[in-house]
Amino acid sequence: MWGVIKSVLAAFFGVQKEGQRRQDFEQGRPVPFLVAGVLMALVLVGLVALVAVLASR
């Protein structure tokens, strides 16, 4: 679970170690990554929106 989140975070940041990526692609199943990716995209939108709301006060 934590490994999936770490890998998705790395993908969001855009940088991942080649070894880790290889391992994810060879051993992981795609569905957890997709779910985590979609959820974290929503979290990102929420975070930016939160910052915008706080900044506008």
Partner 1 sequence: MAMNPGSKPVLQHSTATAGGMAEAHPAPPSGLLRWLLTTNHKEIGSLYLIFSLVMFFIGGIFAMVVRAELFQPGLQLVQPEFFNQMTTMHGLIMVFAAVMPAFTGLANWMIPLQIGAPDMALPRLNNFSFWLLPVAFTLLLSTLFMPGGGPNFGWTFYAPLSTTYGPPSTTFFILSLHIAGISSILGAINIIATILNMRAPGMRMMDMPLFVWTWLITSFLLIAVMPVLAGVITMMLMDINFGTSFFDAAGGGDPVLFQHLFWFFGHPEVYIMILPAFGIVSAIIPTFARKRLFGYASMVYATAAIAILSFLVWAHHMFVVGLPLVAELFFMYCTMLIAVPTGVKVFNWITTLFRGSISFEPPMLFALAFVVLFTIGGFSGLMLAIAPADFQYHDTYFVVAHFHYVLVPGAVFAIMAGVYYWLPKWTGHYPNERLAQWHFWLSVVGVNLTFFPMHFAGLAGMPRRIPDYALQFADFNLVSSLGAFLFGASQLLFVAVVVLCVRGGRRAPAQAWDYAEDLEWSVPSPAPLHTFDTPPTFERPAH
Partner 2 sequence: MRTLLVLLAGGGLLAGSLQTALANGWNMPVGVTELSGEIYSLHMIIFWICVAIGVVVFGVMFYSLFRFRRSKGAKAANFHENTLVEVIWTAIPLLILVGMAVPATATLKKMYDASDADLDVMIIGQQWRWRYDYLGEGVAMTSNLATPRTQIRGDEPIDASANYLLEVDEPLVLPVGQKVRFLFTSDDVIHSWWVPELAIKQDTVPGFINENWVRIDEPGIYRGQCAELCGVDHAFMPIVVRAVEEEEFEAWLASRREAAEEEAMGIDREWQMSELMERGEQVYGSVCVSCHQQEGTGNPPAFPALAGNEQLLSDADWHTSTVINGVSGAAMPAFRNTLNPVEIAAVVTYTRNAWGNDTGDSVQPSEVAERLSD
By CB under 8 A, name the binding residues for partner 2. 13-18, 55-56
Shortest Cβ distance from residue 47 to partner 2 (Å)?
13
Separation CA 7–CA 14 (nearest Å): 10
Using CB under 8 A, list all residues that contact partner 1: 11-12, 14-16, 18, 21, 25, 41, 45, 48-49, 51-53, 55-56
Which amino acid, one-letter code, is at 43? V
CB of 24 to partner 2, least distance (A): 15
C-alpha of 51 from chain center: 19
Q: What is the DSSP letter of 28?
A: S
